[in-house]
Structure formats: C-alpha cells, structure tokens
Homo-oligomer: A and B are copies of this chain.
C-alpha cells in the first residue's frame, strides 16, 4: 500500500498596526511575503490585518495558531508603547517575557557600530516570549523572533519593508525550507521587464501563451512606468519545470521584441549603466521637466560614479542658456519644449561634462503649463553622442505630475538604451 501524502502545509500572514487597520498605510508587506512563501512551495490561504489592540492581537494569533502551519507576522516590534507583538505572542502562547541576551547584544551592537547613543526605551525590543528563538536584524534595531503557538510556527518580523524583506530572505525562508523538507513543489518565476507598450497591448502580444505552454501561467504586473511579464511554472521535477519555463520565456521574448529591457528584474537605470560601463562610456544629463529624477535614478545604482558625470536641472530658460549654452535663437524659434531645444540641451551638457553621451528632457509635467499645441504630457528628449545628435517628441499624460515625470524620465533612459544597442527608436 502506498503511503498517503501528508496534507500540504498552509500558511497565513498577519499585518499589525493602527496604520494598517485604519488604512493610513497600504500593506505591501503581506503581498511580498505571500509571493515568497508561494515560491518555496507553501500555500498561503489567508491574509489578516489588525490594529494595536493587545487582546485582539493575542486572540488572532491563537486563532491562526489553530488553523495554519506557518504564519509570518509584520509590525509591532519597535520600542514604543504601541509595539505589542512580543507581549501578544507571549499571551497567546501562555508564557512570560524575558530579556533575550542575543537580541540585546545585537541591538547594542547596532548602535555601537553606528556610534549612536542607545536610549533606554530601545532595550524593550530585546524582551521576547519565553521559548522564542531570536531572528537577528542586520539592518535595523528591532530583532524578530520565532515562536510556536498552537500547531503553527510564527515568524515575527519588523514592519519596515526593507528590514522585513532582508530577514524574510535570510532567516525565515531557509527555516521554512527546512520545515518542509523534501515535500516541496518546485516553483519558478521568470520575469521579463518591458517598457514601451501599455499593459493591455503587452498582454495581447502574448495571446496564445496559455494554449502553447499549458504548464506555464502568465501574469502581468504594472510597476509603473514598466510592465513586468511574469511566467510561473511548478511541478515535482526541477529540470522539467526549468525546461518548460525556458521554452515559454523564449516564445514570449520573441513576441515582445525589444520592449524587453531586462530578464533579471534589473531596473532600467541599472541596464543603461551596465551598457555604458561595457562601452567605457560616460554620461551627462540635462533635465527640465523631469526635475532631477533621471539623475536620481541613475545615482541609485551603486558605482554609478564610474560613468555618471554631471546633471544640470535647468528649469528656467535662462539656466538653459547660461549653463548649457542653448541659443536664444533656438529657444525663440521652438520654445523650451521642442526637439531642437532638447537636442541642444543634450549637446550642451555633453560638452560641459566632457562625457561620451548627453541626454536631455524638456516637457510639460502639469498640472498647469499646457497649451493646445503642446498639451500637458508633451515631452521632448534629446540625445548627443559620438555617432549622432537628435531630438524627438512624445506624448503621454497620466493625469498626475509625478506619474508624468516618471514616464518622461523612463523614456529618456529608454532612448539612450536603444541608441546604445542600435535599436530602432519607436515613438
């Protein structure tokens, strides 16, 4: 007789805090955790959110402890009186709290390394339920912990997204993999990052993927202004899953063409940086409507000082003339928002910085400043390089200044990417 398979382990997620309960904060943590748990082969069956109410929190922990095998909890680990997770966990497990020496040591260490004084209330963060295993936090002051309540193993993590993500990856997922042992399903995701088509047009290019590759699921995720095409495959056999995903990804890449700028989840600014570095090329940026955003994105990439030389955010026309050397004549002929002006800005900043490439943006982000001829959402992008120098005009409008700025900035980087790769420039 074959042994019956054990019922698959199920997980829940609990987000805590008044800002969650009252809707002051959109809970992005729970989705990020659910995605990771599903990837390691654990089925997430329920998400929960409650405020900072000790009794309710303890009751919900007990409730989940009777239903799930694994639960990840976020929030409530800080030093203030409304940080209640440790106390609630202790109440739910029916144990007391005590200072955890490893937790206290790591907190003291955090402050020592940063030469910051440690005020007394911080010590509260080392108070953990009896029997809890501390989960050290290498990037923040609040350690997490692991504790069994009922039939469920709980992992308590901070609510700060980057601390949570780091601890989830380093400490929680490996422990869960250990718990699941060999009964895990293999799950794989392939992400194709796209820019240049709307979400629905991107989706239409992939019509038929489901029938062609029945084992592969398709998901589109808008991470404005990029669109991520996600392909999911799962199964018992690692090699088969990888092969199915590889074939589907190849098919999708052919259909999508050069709107795919990354297959590793890299943001556009990192892709452009890699291309510049590979060509020993440097870059200077002249920004008007994007207001520094292109430069900000480029310098988010560690090591960008290797190729990024200078940005000039020339909001006023006078600055365009004085700093970038755009002629009064060009400005008078076409105005500040014109392909020729953008071209001359790019050329000017390239010359000023002595860089290989110059790119420039000039447009109308809104809400005011539009006209019939140049409505809000108009953007002109200039590029100056060793091969050629040009300006072009595009039209977008997302009804919000900050979204328009993001789209303009991404478009400028994509114009540079296409130039570096010798691709066509599509409007």
Query: Which A residues are closer than 8 A to B by beta carbons?
Result: 15, 18-28, 30-38, 44-53, 56, 60, 78-82, 114-115, 119, 121-122, 138-139, 160, 162, 199-201, 203-204, 210, 218-222, 224, 230, 232, 285, 287, 290-296, 298-300, 302-305, 308-316, 318-319, 322-323, 352-354, 365-368, 377, 395, 397, 399-403, 405
Contacts A34-B22, A50-B45: A139 and B80 contacting too (C-beta < 8 A)? no
A352: contacting residue among B22, B32, B322, B405, CB under 8 A: B322
Is the CB–CB distance between A19 and B221 below 8 Å? yes
The 7 A-B residue pairs whose C-beta atoms are closest, nearest first, are A291-B299, A23-B34, A292-B295, A47-B49, A292-B292, A23-B35, A311-B313
* Docked pose: A60 CA to B300 CA in angstroms: 41
Contacts A119-B200, A291-B299, A292-B296: A316 and B310 contacting too (C-beta < 8 A)? yes
Is the CB–CB distance between A24 and B305 below 8 Å? no
Task: Given contacts A162-B403, A310-B312, list 6 more A-B pairs with CB under 8 A.
Answer: A21-B34, A21-B47, A27-B30, A139-B399, A287-B295, A304-B315
A295: contacting residue among B220, B295, B303, B367, CB under 8 A: B295
Is the CB–CB distance between B23 and A26 below 8 Å? no
* Docked pose: A308 CA to B292 CA in angstroms: 12
Closest residue of chain B to A121, judged by CB?
B200
Contacts A292-B295, A292-B296: A80 and B302 contacting too (C-beta < 8 A)? no
Is the CB–CB distance between B201 and A119 below 8 Å? yes
User: Contacts of A323 on B, CB cut-off 8 Å?
Assistant: 310, 312, 323, 352
* Docked pose: A148 CA to B382 CA in angstroms: 53
User: Contacts of A81 on B, CB cut-off 8 Å?
Assistant: 203, 210
* Docked pose: A53 CA to B122 CA in angstroms: 43
A51: contacting residue among B45, B303, B316, CB under 8 A: B45
Is the CB–CB distance between B309 and A315 below 8 Å? yes
User: Contacts of A210 on B, CB cut-off 8 Å?
Assistant: 81
* Docked pose: A78 CA to B200 CA in angstroms: 8
A122 CB, min distance to chain B CBs, angstroms = 6
Most interface-central of A232, A367, A399 (chain B CB within 10 A): A399
> Which applies to chain A's interface (DSSP): helix, strand, loop or mixed?
mixed
Contacts A44-B22, A49-B30: A200 and B316 contacting too (C-beta < 8 A)? no
Is the CB–CB distance between B49 and A46 below 8 Å? yes
User: Contacts of A352 on B, CB cut-off 8 Å?
Assistant: 322-323
User: Contacts of A46 on B, CB cut-off 8 Å?
Assistant: 21, 48-50, 56, 60
* Docked pose: A345 CA to B37 CA in angstroms: 49
* Docked pose: A305 CA to B316 CA in angstroms: 7
User: Contacts of A37 on B, CB cut-off 8 Å?
Assistant: 23
* Docked pose: A28 CA to B35 CA in angstroms: 16
Is the CB–CB distance between A296 and B293 below 8 Å? yes
Is the CB–CB distance between A291 and B302 below 8 Å? no
A303: contacting residue among B30, B230, B368, CB under 8 A: B368
* Docked pose: A30 CA to B78 CA in angstroms: 24
* Docked pose: A310 CA to B287 CA in angstroms: 10
* Docked pose: A309 CA to B288 CA in angstroms: 10
Is the CB–CB distance between B308 and A298 below 8 Å? no
Closest residue of chain B to A221, judged by CB?
B19
A302: contacting residue among B292, B294, B296, B368, CB under 8 A: B368
User: Contacts of A47 on B, CB cut-off 8 Å?
Assistant: 15, 20-21, 27, 47-50
Is the CB–CB distance between A308 and B312 below 8 Å? no
Is the CB–CB distance between B395 and A115 below 8 Å? yes
A203 CB, min distance to chain B CBs, angstroms = 5
Is the CB–CB distance between B312 and A299 below 8 Å? no
Contacts A56-B45, A78-B199: A25 and B18 contacting too (C-beta < 8 A)? no
User: Contacts of A315 on B, CB cut-off 8 Å?
Assistant: 299, 304-305, 308-310
A8 CB, min distance to chain B CBs, angstroms = 13
A369 CB, min distance to chain B CBs, angstroms = 8
Contacts A31-B27, A199-B80, A200-B122: A19 and B219 contacting too (C-beta < 8 A)? yes
